[in-house]
Amino acid sequence: MKHCFGSHVSVAGGLDRGVTRAVELGCDCLQVFTKNANAWKAAPLTDTSVAAWLGAFRQSGLQHPIAHTSYLINLASPDEVLLEKSIDALIIEWQRCETLQIEGLVLHPGAFTTSDEATGIKRVVDAIVRVAQVVSPKNCRLMLENTAGQGTCLGHSLKQIGEIIDGATDASPAILQSLAVCLDTCHAFAAGYPINTAGGFRDFVREIDDVLPSGSVRAIHLNDSKKPLGSRVDRHEHIGRGELGIEAFRLLLADPLLGPLPGYLETEKGTDPESGRDWDAINLEVLRTLAGEIA
C-alpha cells in the first residue's frame, strides 16, 4: 500500500513559499491557509501569486493540495449577522481554492451556541447549499471535518457529519459531488472514539461505512492527542507522544479504507530540543517507519 504523508505548512511570504517548505520537509502532500485564518477579510489573489503557486506546485512533485478555512467561520451560528459573514467568507475561500486548483477545503461544521443541535445542523446544511450554488465548484470539494466536540461544536460524531451531508444532498442532489470528509485522529479520540484499540478502531471504520456516503472520506489529519479519550478537548500532540499513542496510527495506516488516503500533520511546529530536528520531519519519519517505508 502506497502512503501519502504531508503537513500543514506556512505560506508566509507567498503561497508558493508553502510549496517550497513542504518540499524541503520531504512531504508528499500539503495543507495551507489561503488567507489569514484569524481575519475575516482576504486580500484578493493576484495573477502573479496564482501563477507562482501553480508553477511551484507543478514542479514540486507534491500531490493532493488542500486548504483549511478560517477559524472564524461558523455556519451553525444562531446570530444572523455572524452567519451571513460566515457564508460570505466561505464563498470567498472556496472560490480561492478553485482558482488555485486546490482539491479540498476543510471546514469545521460550527457551533450552535445558544440554539440546539438540530437547529444548528439545519443551519449548516442550508448554508452549505447556498454557498455551493454561488461557487459552482469544479475542482475543489468542501471537506467537513470531525471535531473534538468542545462546547456546542457540531461534528464530534460521524452521525452528525453524515446528517449534514445527507441534508445538503436531499436539498440539492448534485452537491454530493462537491462534498467530502476529512477525519482528524485527535478529534475522533477526544470525542470518545477509542481508535487506539483494535476493537475501537474496527467500530470506528464500521460507523464510517454505516453513516457516511461511500468514498466520501478523502483526507486524514494525523494528530496525536494531549488529552485523554472522551475529553472533548482539542489539543494536538506529536505522533506517538500523546494519549492516543502509536497503535492508533499503526491501525490506521494498515486499514484498506483509510491507510491509502493523504494524511496531513497539524502538530506543533518548531524543533525538538533534544535532537535539534524539525518536528514535522520527525513526525513524518515516525509515520513512514510505521508504514514500513523506512527500515
CATH number of the domain bearing residue 219: 3.20.20.150
Encode pLDDT of 232-263 as tens digits.
Answer: 999 999 999 999 999 999 999 999 999 999 99
- The number of folded domains in the chain is 1
Task: Name beta bridge partners: 30.
Answer: 7, 65
Q: Is residue 137 part of a domain?
A: yes
pLDDT of residue 1: 64
Q: Is residue 229 part of a domain?
A: yes
Q: Is residue 108 part of a domain?
A: yes
Are 286 and 1 spatial neighbours (Cβ–Cβ below 8 Å)? Answer: no
Averaged pLDDT, 132-150: 97
pLDDT of residue 295: 60
Domain of 121, in residue numbers:
5-290
> How far, in Å, CA of 47 to CA of 206, rounded?
45
Are 29 and 65 spatial neighbours (Cβ–Cβ below 8 Å)? Answer: yes
> Residue type for 194, please?
P
Averaged pLDDT, 84-93: 98
> How far, in Å, CA of 280 to CA of 224, rounded?
13
pLDDT of residue 292: 87
> How far, in Å, CA of 21 to CA of 60, rounded?
11
Q: Is residue 295 part of a domain?
A: no
Nine-digit cell string for 6 = 504531508
Q: Is residue 253 part of a domain?
A: yes
Encode pLDDT of 187-234 as tens digits.
Answer: 999 999 999 999 999 999 999 999 999 999 999 999 999 999 999 999
Is the pLDDT score of 2 beyond 90?
no
Q: What are phi and psi of 202, to 5 degrees?
A: -60, -40
- In terms of C-beta density within 10 A (0-12 exposed, 13-18 middle, 19 or more buried), how is residue 129 classed? middle
